Structure 1
Amino acid sequence: MYCIRKVITSVLISRERLIHSNKQITVAPFQACVTFNNHPRCYSIQKTSDPDQVVDLICKGNAELEKKLRILMLEVEVMRQDGRFAPDSINNDQWQHLLDLKTKNQRQSYLRYLFKTEKSKENFKAKKEARRKEFTVPKPEDMKENKDDLLYGIQHQSLFLRIRDQSINQFDNYRALQAMMYGQSIVIDCSYESHMVYKETVNAAKQMTFVFGDNRVHKNPFNLHLCNVNMTGAFMKQMLKNIPSLDEPWFPMNIHTKSYLDVFPKEKLVYLTPHCREELTKFDHDAVYIVGCMVDKVNNEPLSLAKAKRDGIKMAKLPLDRYLEWAPGSKKNLNINHMIPILLDLKMTADWEYALQHVPRRKLMETKIMAMQKNLNQKLQYDVKKNIKLSKLNTLVFKEKRLKSRRSLYDDENI
């Protein structure tokens, strides 16, 4: 009874502190937009506010949602006071995602993830600051033997011109811009967001970020077209987090909210899906290939096949069984960040064996056999060591028995 009374008292105290305190809570950055050369530019600004402002921004007058959010804030505050995994700052998107979660276990696991992410960032900053303090650059005057000496190295005289990361980034973007004018088009179908959970959507956005990076550094990149994009969905929000300049007018990627049927001729479209029967034997440089942007860890239905049939366009799959020995139990649907590099190398070399090197090795039979051999060798080594230990133990026991028998024969009491 005392424990229950103590818990209720702590919850009430926490609620009063949460409602009446002036504690500042970090909320999501908002966008401040200005116009430059007739193009809008948006910059994120960090803003702090009290819980009431957070509630007003998220709930927008919905009484039921406000009640749920305040209970959720109270739950998070109690977790903080109890020393459980809960982050110190939660932004608006994270509060919204917490509201969408249905069970308490899901909320606790998400808060644990946010807590670990926050602590990892803090540890990284602390290590970076410690390294900065350890690395003390001596003054140039102390490094010179004579006053007229020239210093060579970083931040001093050098024979080579330093190429900065920004220059490399601009060069890669220029290559992607050339592909937008003269390169072959490829479509990324982003219409599967409703079939994915939040974690899969975040993973799909991460894969799409890798696709953009791999495409622009290639010698002969594609002209990327993202079709059926929901500009207010979780996928685009995560993409903007990964690539903040995605919505800039100069960014080398085409983003369409409409279907690919409205952008390209229907007879040129070829949907690449692992569920169809026809194999892609030869790369067509005039075709417009479509790759579905979907992570199907939960939903394994052939959605891309159904959509291609519904739209009435051609379908094809990669000839994986012809060139690779697939491991039993491995799925033959590849991620989008594997598909695009395969198509890039296939377009440039027309060599399937070279292009399929981007297939993850864990899916192949060769890797499976190597893993089995490794486990078998480890087991054999363990058995050999165990047998050696047993043989040594048996030898010691035998010697001890032998000594005891000798003592019993020549003992004074037995004479």
Structure 2
Amino acid sequence: MDKANPLQVGSLFSAARVLIVDDADSNVLLLTRILRAAGVTQVHGFTDPFAALSAYRELEPDAVLLDLHMPGMDGIELIGRLRASTSADGFVPLVVLMADVSAASKRRVLEAGANDFLVKPFDNLEVVLRVQNLLETRALHCRVQEHNLALRRNLARQIARERRVEEVRRLRTDRIRRVLLDDRLSMVYQPIRDLHAGTVVGFEALARIAELPQRPPDHWFREATEVGLGTELELRAVERGVCALESLPAEIFVTVNTSADVAITDALVECLAAVPAERVVVELTEHAHIEDYTRTIDALGLLRQQGVRIAVDDAGAGYSSLQHILMLRPDMVKLDRSLIAGINTDRAKRALTKSMVGFVAEIAAVLIAEGIEEPEELAVLRDLGVEWGQGYHLGRPAQLPAAATTATQRAPS
């Protein structure tokens, strides 16, 4: 707005729609000229209040200037009808045109719902400034309404998202509960062999879940953790896994997979209390980050006091730094399949594995190669001095009692 000329108020007036109602045609024409000179292009004048009321509903004006004394319908009644035609959260400023400037008359029009008044005869500058002020107030009101509408829409979207998330969580929780309650968790056992003698030294217990959607077991365990049932599902798998011990020769061990979070629970200690602990190996995956090594080491110490051995699983695939292994001091280190695949043609993998053979020997642990699928891989691992291994080439996972028969069979060369 050009402050040097208050009769020109720019875009505020150019976009405004103003309705004028006065039974005196001269007043309508005068106010129309004043407002148009100030920049209001959409001025609609009426001498009939009933026609003005109909136009109000169609035009949706930004301000109304109305006479107090009109035949057929006075300004007080028209104010009431205009307010009744305005939405509850709407705001259209009403300016009463009056010649009676007594305190009683002013109070009467303001109590009726008017926002301001103009005294006859009109002062051009006063007309412009009062209308300008009320249009600014309406513009602010409209912006607040738009902001509130945007907030309501955003809130509605957020509530809808939260409901969808909650529904997905409920469905996922129900899936995991079905697995737990309907006995849909079973175990298969993959042999772990002495790579030089070919004999079975142990089995890794692997979970299988008969529930839709069909997907790898680690997806089920991850989902269980996300819905707060991870510990329960892991412990159920451990419990099922160690049941195989009574069907296997006494010199054979069974490894069970747990997260670091489950490994530090008293529930795991209790779960393994009823089985020959010296035949149990707890595998900690290196994909999972350990927040508190001191607490984890203390918890593993309790398991070791029972005779349980500890293995670091997936070495080289996740957080598997040598520092991680040094902190946990495992009895076994399992090299991830990613380091074994194609080792017969990859000098870097052979060099890394050879260094791991020496490192593991220094910490008095056993190195186990996972995912041996080719005879050439097996041959290289033997040459490098890796003691134990597992993989499809050495034996596929199988349920009991089929897995038990594997315990007496030598591996292919």
- Is the shorter-chain TM-score for this pair beyond 0.5, marking a shared fold? no
More helix by share: 1
Which structure has the greater CA radius of gyration? 2
* TM-score w.r.t. length of structure 2: 0.20
More strand by share: 2
